[in-house]
């Protein structure tokens, strides 16, 4: 192993070639920024804290700090350090022990840029934006989704009925919430069958495609069994809590032989990204999810009940040059060879008044997903879904919600319920 030298992992003249490049924000712990940077590169590649003789040949694989600007530094990792199609291996290196080092008070992995060899080793999304729009037969507008509420406690009959009312009101997709699995009050298989029956009924009545995103998150073998049930029953989608299930489980689901779109819920993401000075940014989490192959992923709202700055959320759709190291204009749609772009899902405390804001900042390639903002409508779930579709229609037509509401009672009631 390479012995620890004060700055031997710092080379500000180095130009990355076939490297994996990371952007870190670090706060040194009573040492210089250069020494802290050197320690990060050492610990996350081939270095050790003491001298080890006779293995100097590994020096060619050491990481290199090639940029230090303020508290930000860029580190290049030779591609040979990684098993190409192994996300746990990659993250164990670039976001592993370094998160707990004494050399830094705090450290945050802000961004990652992958070499072509790693990009080519992953399948990426089966469908992505274009594929989802194609099988859902939706063009030119955001998709509208909802989450069954209350998220826990409903019996199967009420769950399926709520889904049906959402669909006939105008929702394209209905999904389970992150903590609904196969509890006694709403067993997975019964819920799947009855809710898909309601989806078929809603399709017949509306002439629109409808999709149910059932949560298959479980121990990996059970998860695959549940996904197989979805496909056997004619389902189009599955949902997985990608972080609590784990990267390996997510990859197992993607690489299984299912023709199912994958909806990635990001439950637990704030444990990684809420602290602006420590952890892993949502940019990085989204990149690894896209590499593995989710078709759509929660990105936040910038409005509503959950934490999230609209500038950062916009960055998941469109690049913010000061925040990252990639040159592409669109984050979830950046050019990655054959890897398809991912559809962003905005969810968390949304209602019709939020629609113009979301479409202005996040565009049309988006799932606008409202739970309480649909089911909490004064006239019920169906009217709530109608109101959300009306808000989308008004925004597409560049008509203010207040003006549109004068001839659309469901939207009028929603605006009265959720005041500015």
Active site residues: 149, 265
Burial class for 410, CB neighbours closer than 10 Å (0-12, 13-18, 19+): buried
E strand or H helix that includes residue 368: strand 366-369
| Residue 358 · residue 300 · CB < 8 Å | no
Around 333, how many Cα atoms within 13 Å sit in the side-chain half-sphere? 15
Residues whose CB falls within 8 Å of the CB of residue 214, separated by 6 or more in sequence, listed in order: 175, 176, 188, 191, 192, 195, 226, 230, 235, 237, 238, 239
Read off the tokens for 80: 């040979």
Query: Hey, which bits of 148-206 come out as E strands?
Result: 173-175
- Give me Rg for the CA atoms of the chain: 23
- Provide the phi-psi class of 293: left if phi over 0, else alpha when psi is between -120 and 50, else beta: left
CA-wise closest residue to 146 among 396, 405, 318, 387: 387
């Amino acid at each position: 192993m390479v012995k620890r030298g004060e700055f031997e992992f710092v080379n500000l003249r180095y130009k990355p070639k076939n490297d994996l490049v990371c952007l870190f924000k670090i706060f040194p712990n009573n040492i210089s920024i250069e020494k802290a940077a050197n320690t990060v590169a050492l610990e996350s590649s081939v270095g050790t804290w003491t001298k080890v003789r006779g293995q100097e040949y590994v020096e060619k694989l050491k990481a290199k700090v090639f940029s230090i600007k303020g508290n930000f530094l860029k580190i290049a990792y030779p591609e040979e350090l990684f098993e190409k199609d192994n996300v746990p291996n990659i993250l164990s290196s670039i976001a592993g022990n370094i998160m707990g080092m004494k050399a830094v008070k705090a450290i945050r992995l802000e961004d990652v840029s992958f070499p072509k060899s790693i990009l080519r080793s992953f399948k990426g999304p089966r469908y992505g934006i274009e594929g989802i729009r194609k099988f859902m037969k939706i063009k030119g507008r955001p998709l509208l989704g909802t989450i069954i509420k209350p998220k826990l406690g409903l019996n199967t009959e009420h769950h399926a009925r709520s889904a049906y009312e959402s669909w006939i009101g105008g929702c394209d997709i209905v999904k389970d919430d992150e903590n609904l699995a196969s509890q006694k009050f709403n067993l997975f298989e019964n819920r799947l069958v009855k809710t898909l029956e309601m989806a078929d009924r809603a399709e017949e009545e509306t002439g629109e495609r409808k999709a149910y995103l059932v949560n298959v998150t479980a121990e990996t073998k059970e998860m695959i069994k549940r996904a197989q049930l979805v496909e056997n029953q004619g389902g189009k989608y599955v949902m997985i809590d990608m972080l609590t299930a784990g990267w390996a489980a997510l990859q197992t689901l993607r690489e299984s032989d299912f023709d199912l779109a994958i909806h990635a819920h990001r439950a637990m993401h704030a444990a990684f990204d809420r602290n602006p000075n420590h952890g892993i940014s949502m940019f990085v989490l989204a990149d690894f999810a896209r590499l593995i192959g989710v078709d759509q992923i929660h990105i936040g709202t910038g409005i509503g009940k959950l934490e999230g700055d609209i500038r950062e959320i916009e960055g998941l759709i469109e690049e913010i040059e000061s925040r990252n190291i990639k040159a592409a204009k669109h984050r979830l749609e950046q050019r990655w060879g054959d890897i398809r772009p991912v559809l962003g899902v905005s969810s968390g405390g949304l209602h019709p008044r939020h629609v113009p804001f979301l479409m202005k900042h996040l565009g049309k390639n988006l799932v606008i997903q409202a739970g309480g903002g649909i089911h909490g409508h004064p006239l019920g779930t169906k009217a709530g879904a109608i109101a959300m579709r009306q808000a989308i229609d008004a925004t597409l037509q560049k008509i203010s919600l207040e003006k549109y509401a004068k001839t659309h009672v469901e939207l009028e009631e929603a605006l009265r319920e959720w005041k500015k």
